[in-house]
Chain A
Amino acid sequence: MATINELNERIHAGSSEEIVAEYLERIDSSKLNAFITVAKENALARAKEIDSEGHEGSLAGIPVAIKDNISTKGILTTCASKILTGYVPPYDAHVIERLKEAGAVIIGKTNMDEFAMGTSTETSFYGPTRNPWDTDRVPGGSSGGSAAAVAGSEVPLALGSDTGGSVRCPASFCGVVGLKPTYGVISRYGLISYANSLEQIGPFATTVRDVATLFDVIAGYDARDSTSVDKEVNYSSALKNDVSGLKIGVPEEYFGEGTDENVEKTVWNAIHTLEDLGATRVEVKMPHTKYALSAYYIIAMSEASSNLARFDGMRYGLRTEDSDWHTTFSQVRAAGFGDEVKRRILLGTYALSAGYHDKYYLKALKVRTLIKQDFELAFKDADVLIAPTMPYPAFKLGEKIDDPLSLYLADVDTVPINLAGVPSISVPCGFSHELPIGMQVIGKHFDEATILRTAYTFEENTDFHTREPEGF
Chain B
Amino acid sequence: MYDNPDGVMIGLEVHVQLNKLKTKVFCGCTTDYHNDPPNSHVCPVCLGLPGALPKINKKAVEAAIKVGLALNCKIEEHTQFYRKNYYYPDLPKGFQITQYDFPISSGGHIMIEGEDGEHRVGITRAHMEEDPGRLVHEGTIDKSKYTLIDYNRSGMALLEVVSDPDMRSPKEARRYLDKLRNILEYLDVFDGNLEGALRVDANISIMGGQRAEIKNISSHKGAERALLYEIVRQKNVLRRGGIVVLETRHFDEAREITMSMRSKEEAHDYRYFPEPDLVPLKISGWAPAIKETLPELPDARRLRFVEQYGITDDHAKALTSELKLAIFYENVAKKADPKTAAVWICDVLKGELNYRNLTIDSFKKEHMLSVIGLLASKKITEDGAVDIIRTLLDKGGSPDEIVAEKGLLKVEGDIVSTAAEEAIKENPQAVADFKAGKEKALNSLVGAVMKKTKGRADARAAREVLLGKLG
Contacts from A to B (Cβ < 8 Å):
69-71, 77, 79, 84, 87, 89-91, 93, 188-193, 195-197, 223-227, 302-303, 305-306, 308-312, 314-316, 325, 329, 349, 352-354, 357, 361
Contact = CB atoms under 8 A, between A and B. Distances in A.
Nearest to B275: A196
Contact of A227 (B89, B94, B277): B277
A316 to B, nearest CB: 8
A361 B83 CA distance: 14
A93 B55 CA distance: 15
B51 A89 contact: yes
B286 interface: no
A314 B50 contact: no
B50 A93 contact: no
Contact of A90 (B49, B54, B85, B278): B49
30 contacts: A70-B51, A71-B49, A87-B50, A89-B51, A91-B49, A189-B52, A192-B51, A193-B50, A193-B277, A225-B53, A302-B273, A303-B273, A306-B83, A306-B85, A306-B271, A309-B85, A309-B94, A310-B48, A310-B92, A310-B93, A311-B94, A312-B87, A315-B47, A315-B92, A325-B89, A349-B271, A353-B269, A353-B271, A354-B269, A354-B271
Contacts of A303: 273, 276
B44 interface: yes
B228 interface: no
A87 B50 CA distance: 10
A72 B66 CA distance: 40
A362 to B, nearest CB: 9
Interface in B57-99: 83, 85, 87-89, 92-95
Contacts of A352: 85, 271-273
B279 interface: yes
Q: Is the interface of B mostly helix, strand, loop or mixed?
A: loop
Contact of B55 (A90, A226, A315, A349): A226
Interface of B: 44, 47-56, 83, 85, 87-89, 92-95, 147, 149, 269, 271-273, 276-279
A79 B279 contact: no
The 8 closest A-B pairs by CB, nearest first: A309-B94, A196-B276, A352-B271, A197-B276, A192-B50, A190-B51, A71-B51, A192-B51
B85 to A, nearest CB: 5
Contacts of A195: 276
Contacts of B51: 69-71, 89, 93, 188-193
A461 B62 CA distance: 57
Nearest to B27: A224
Contacts of A349: 271
A325 B95 contact: no
A90 B44 contact: yes
Nearest to A87: B50
Contacts of A188: 51, 53, 277
B44 A91 contact: yes
Contact of A77 (B50, B52, B55, B92): B50
A315 B52 CA distance: 15
A89 B50 contact: yes
B279 A227 contact: yes
A90 B25 CA distance: 21
A224 B55 contact: yes
Nearest to A350: B271
A224 B28 CA distance: 10
B147 A223 contact: no
B97 to A, nearest CB: 11
A306 to B, nearest CB: 5
Nearest to A190: B51
Contacts of B273: 302-303, 306, 352, 357, 361
Nearest to A354: B269
A167 B88 CA distance: 35
Contacts of B269: 353-354
B94 A306 contact: yes
Nearest to B281: A226
Contact of A329 (B49, B87, B93, B277): B87
Contacts of B49: 71, 89-91, 315-316
A316 B87 CA distance: 16
Given A197-B276, A224-B55, A227-B279, A306 B95 contact: yes
A432 to B, nearest CB: 37
Nearest to A349: B271
Contacts of A190: 51-52
Nearest to A325: B89
Given A196-B277, A197-B276, A361-B273, A224 B149 contact: no
Nearest to B88: A325
Contacts of B55: 223-226
A329 B86 CA distance: 12
